[in-house]
A and B are shown apart, each in its own frame.
Chain A
Amino acid sequence: MNEPTTTPALSRRDFLKTAGCLSIGFSFACHPLSAAPQPPLQDSLPGPLRQQPQINAWLEVLENGRVRVLTGKLELGQGIRTAIAQVAAEELDMDSNHVEVHLAETGRTPHEGYTAGSGSIENSAMSVRYAAAAARQKLLALAAQRWNKPVEQLRLADGKIEGGKDQLTFAQLLNGTQLTDEVRLPVTLKPKSEYRWVGKAVPRADIEKMVRAEPVYVQDLRLPGMVHARVVRPLAYGARLRSFDEAALKKAVPGILKTVINGNFVGIITTEEYEAVQAQLMAREQTKWETTKPLPDNQNLAEFIKKLPSKSRTVKETGDVKTLESSGGSSLKARYFKPYHMHGSIGPSCAVALYQDGKLHIWTHSQGVYPLQEAVKKMLNLPTEAVHVVGVPGSGCYGHNGADDVAADAALLAMAYPGKPVRLQWSRDDEHGWEPYGSAMQMEAEARLDASGKITHWRYDVWTDSHSTRPGGEPGNLLAARSIEKPFSQPSSGYSGGGYRNSEPYYAIPNLKVDAHFFEGPLRVSALRSLGAYGNVFAIESFMDELAEKAGKDPLEFRLRHLEDERAIAVVKKLQELTRSEKGKPGEGIGYAFSRYKNVATYCAVAARVLADPKTSKVQVLKMWSVIDAGEVINLDGVKNQTEGGMIQAASWTLKEEVQFDKQHVSSRDWSSYPIFRFSDVPETEVVVINRPDEKPLGAGEAAQGPTAAALVNAIYRACGQRIRHLPVRLDRRE
């Protein structure tokens, strides 16, 4: 679960299990904020389905023999469309290619909050599974009644029901109606032993559309009469517009249809896209801004964020950690840091908006169409039903990037230029400079080992900003709403739970205390893939290696000695087996790390082999392995693809990335000032998936990030003896 404010209804039990008391926790702060793992139970329907229980909210029978599934989630490149088609096809005994998936759209699909937190499989796909199973039951019952035959003599066969010589398509049987019954327990699911689609590496149909250059993305939308637009962002956060010379700009760029100035919001609408590009560049030169508060000097960001005023919370306390200093054995203390990271989507954010006949339509790659509808409606003071938001895939976002902001920008422009669809494409500079980043974090760990090399005490502190400031119905989270003449102020704190995600080690440690300290940092922040888990697992799993060395133990054996969960032990042992025969050459090292995402979701162990040369300060990642247990696998290749990509992306964060800023604003404004992995940097990858068909299916997209960071620095230590505690990795930095 991620940013729970607008995610409707996990079951109460699931909610408490995954969230501990985090969402309600600030009034119940005495309770631990994390929770022990529990066996999966089918005691309730998936949350979104309980909120929207009618079968036809999730599934429609089409005249052409196909079935359309409706999901409130958006395809982000994670392959959710294919996974959802698989589970529906399975329950209905259809070819998965005959199942269409309609992605998030207000008024059309279920309200499923955000496509975030690795929750789409767990919530949306499982809602579809139960809705499809209920549809199957109902269709069979209808056919049995019609033919006066027992259900046992009937079977489903790719969109038809057969019973001896009788045969009808689903559509014929329903005769123009849809299945409006509510899904109620008990629902008979298809036995897993009979699965044809689920668990298999079913290829994604959209990849062929991509290689054929079919229109796939919001960037590819071309509506009749569409005009183009660009926005002119201020010089700095909170800067005020002093002057904008509209006449000069119109003279220089003849195709300008309209300039929209609303408070500090500046937008330009043109006929041709290139005119908008030119106008934006020119306007940036001539527009004068008054900056307010300078950003801090970021030379020592690690120290700076720790000194900011913060609110503290105890995340977890067990045993008596106060005896850490006084107990026997040996102790160790270390401090770690991760900088601000960028989502860095390859395609900058884009939206199309049209205001016509009193209704505003927005085509967007936002991860949450309903929360965006709510925020935009408030920003523009429109009734809810006057805002229609359609989800269309965009470039991969990996969290909250500029998607919602560009949609709000486009909405403002469309309101000012009614009757024509306005396509707004953010520039690379807009995206790099204005997206909300993944927070910088500082982590401090201290532990004591007994004489046998077991951890007896563990104290951990994390300093972090918020990890989600998604719109969530609040216009103040949108750049545009903060800029207009009557601005909305930014809500003071976002979802702070993300900051201590995975801050508790998944190891059996008798005396333990974990504290989180929330600051409000200098840069705009929000959800970036895995939220705080990346920083926390980087720190915990680096520290575990340091402790293993202190205890004189093999790093994997040391972890195994502190693990109690069989599934965790299984992934670590599998990784051990996978890399056992690896013999590193001189200058090379292999490092390992493990975590269970959110401590209640997917298990993932990662190994990295690196070549590190302190003389040249060069680190080359040669190979990365991952063993992952995401419970019941829906799409095997989907799990592999997400895990391979997760490792490569997180390796890029770890080795190369850091958002730079000066006193004025973010100075990482393109790919040369914010370099990411290129082909010469990329390791070979190998992923082993442990399928657990009888366990609850879990999202796989956010499990590898944290372990990747730690496996890399642990490998670097083994390669050259240098312990990296400050990211990004720089062998020439004195720590």
Chain B
Amino acid sequence: MKARLTIEVNQKRHTVEVDPATPLLYVLRNNLQLNGPKYGCGLEQCGACMVLLDGKATPSCLLPVETSIGKAIVTLEGLTQPGGKLHPVQRAFVEQQAAQCGYCLNGMVISAVSLLTEQKHPDETAIRKGMERVLCRCGTQSRILRAIRQAANESNP
């Protein structure tokens, strides 16, 4: 049964009429028309659907939307400043050209932001550990690692 729910996404409150069991991913993509979170596996195995939930990278493909009520949801769109200025992690991905097809990029950027919020200067092992949940098939991980090192240096000199 559908219900009216209010969730906070990218610092704005949105009221949607959906089945409360609907995974957050479909609400973000279809009701809110956001492109950042992607469907990859629907099993929390690949990380393509990552969002920040109260600042922490969380897969959204199985998470019932009702459990995200009252939490701050941030998607890839929400990282860009209102004037269009990119977040340092987004900028580092562009500068390092850290993508091929780019389908995994949402999960990569969101996970990197989450990691750099928790640890200002993660070492190589910590970066890899922080990114372990997100799969890339094009093999751009070596570029993604460079982008995260760059973002860490620039955000926390």
Contact = CB atoms under 8 A, between A and B. Distances in A.
A348 B48 CA distance: 11
Contact of A680 (B18, B128, B137): B128
Dominant secondary structure at the A interface? loop
Interface in B19-52: 19, 21-23, 26, 29-30, 33-36, 38-43, 45-46, 48
Given A217-B103, A273-B30, A679-B131, A396 B137 contact: yes
Contacts, number: 169
A219 B97 contact: no
Contacts of A222: 30, 33
Nearest to B133: A678
Contacts of A273: 26, 29-30
A644 B143 contact: yes
Contacts of A678: 132, 135
A207 B94 contact: yes
B70 interface: no
Given A210-B102, A671-B41, A685 B46 contact: no
B94 A670 contact: no
Given A77-B100, A211-B86, A213-B36, A646 B139 contact: yes
B138 A396 contact: yes
A interface, size bucket:
35 or more
A537 B42 CA distance: 36
Given A273-B30, A395-B101, A678-B132, A671 B43 contact: yes
B90 A428 contact: no
B68 to A, nearest CB: 15
Contacts of B33: 222
A346 B136 contact: yes
A677 B97 CA distance: 20
Contact of B22 (A206, A210, A216, A272): A272
Contacts of B9: none
Interface residues of B, number: 56
Contacts of A642: 100
B136 A672 contact: no
Given A78-B100, A203-B94, A676 B137 contact: yes
Given A203-B94, A645-B100, A211 B105 contact: yes
A637 B97 CA distance: 8
A219 B76 contact: no
Name the residue among A213, A220, A676 with the largest chain B CB count within 10 angstroms: A213
Interface in A398-431: 398, 425, 427-428
B11 interface: no
B139 A644 contact: yes
Name the residue among B77, B132, B141, B145 with the largest chain A CB count within 10 angstroms: B141
B103 A347 contact: yes
Contacts of A684: 142
Contacts of B21: 274
A670 B43 contact: yes
Contacts of B101: 76-77, 346, 393-396
B89 to A, nearest CB: 9
A678 B141 CA distance: 9
Given A396-B100, A676-B137, A680-B129, 18 more contacts: A208-B94, A213-B80, A274-B26, A346-B136, A347-B40, A347-B103, A396-B101, A428-B40, A428-B42, A644-B142, A649-B138, A670-B43, A670-B45, A671-B43, A671-B135, A676-B135, A679-B128, A679-B141
16 contacts: A77-B101, A207-B93, A207-B97, A211-B76, A211-B109, A213-B34, A215-B35, A222-B33, A272-B18, A395-B137, A641-B97, A642-B100, A671-B41, A671-B43, A671-B45, A672-B45
The 4 closest A-B pairs by CB, nearest first: A77-B101, A648-B139, A396-B101, A645-B139
